[in-house]
Amino acid sequence: MSRVIGKKGATVNELEKKFGLHLDIEPLSGEYYQERRIAGIDIKNKIIYLNVEVPNQQVKFYVDNILILQARSSGKGIVRIKIQSDTGSALYNYIKAGKSVEYSVSQ
């Protein structure tokens, strides 16, 4: 880990300046995620409902093997995303393009 960060964060600082972004480096938490499944999708009233059928769990969502969202599912196993948000807008465009949304649940 220290090799990635560099002395006093030098490597991270260099990457941030080079690419004009902010990096958050976190140690592995030991969390394990199940294999990916296809999310059930329903769109109503400018809200995307992603059904993962697992209540109150940390869930990661992927499109084309790219992590696009990490959220906690509701008590009914659903994650709600407003289409007007940046993530919701991108997700909506992926869905309209016929791409599948995969998810994995934290164990």
**Over residues 88-93, mean pLDDT:** 94
Tell me the pLDDT tens digit for each residue of 33-88: 678 999 999 999 999 999 999 999 999 999 998 889 999 999 999 999 999 999 99
Written as one letter, the residue type at 3 is R
Distance CA 49, CA 83 (A): 10
- Please state, in angstroms and as integers, the Cα–Cα distance from residue 82 to each residue in 4, 35, 51, 85, following that order: 35, 26, 15, 6
Class of residue 52 by CB neighbours under 10 A (exposed 0-12, middle 13-18, buried 19+): buried
The confidence score (pLDDT) of residue 57 equals 92
Q: Say yes or no to pLDDT of 101 above 60.
A: yes
pTM for this model (two decimals): 0.69
**Over residues 84-99, mean pLDDT:** 94
